[in-house]
């Protein structure tokens, strides 16, 4: 029972700190720095095209498993999509939470 109550409290606390624009089940981006880089291509070596504010929605279009990078964790996954500011480019998969199934690019 104690584990259940702890889990319940943590779940409610998490929902309380998420902004209203972000809902469970829809992809959104997060970085501890407060900003997530969008890049011109699926590589950490590509220039940053824009910065997405953390805890904002991200519309996932397709994915590629290509260049390894360390964002929130080490991965070779990249998503092409549209950020909350309307920019269309690539984001490292580790920054995208509540990922949905999308086609390969």
Would residue 45 count as lying in a domain? yes
Alpha helices in 18-103 (DSSP H): none
Q: Would the pLDDT of 81 be above 80?
A: yes
The whole-number pLDDT of residue 24 equals 55
Average pLDDT value for residue range 6-33: 58
Q: Domain range for residue 48?
A: 27-104
Would residue 49 count as lying in a domain? yes
The whole-number pLDDT of residue 13 equals 37
Number of domains the chain is built from? 1
Average pLDDT value for residue range 55-76: 96
Strands (E), 1-105: 28-29, 35-39, 48-53, 56-70, 74-83, 88-92, 96-97, 103-104
Would residue 100 count as lying in a domain? yes
Average pLDDT value for residue range 3-24: 41
Would residue 51 count as lying in a domain? yes
- For residue 81, the domain's CATH number is 2.30.30.40
Quick check: 101 and 63 in contact, CB under 8 A? Answer: no
């Amino acid at each position: 029972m104690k584990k259940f109550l702890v889990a319940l409290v943590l779940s409610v606390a998490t929902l309380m700190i998420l902004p209203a624009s972000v809902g469970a089940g829809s992809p959104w981006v997060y970085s501890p720095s407060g900003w997530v880089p969008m890049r011109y291509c699926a590589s950490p070596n590509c220039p940053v095209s824009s910065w997405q504010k953390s805890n904002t929605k991200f519309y996932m279009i397709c994915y590629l498993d290509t260049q390894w990078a360390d964002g929130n964790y080490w991965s070779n996954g990249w998503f092409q999509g549209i950020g909350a500011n309307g920019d269309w480019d690539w984001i490292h998969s580790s920054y995208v939470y509540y990922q949905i199934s999308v086609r390969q690019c």
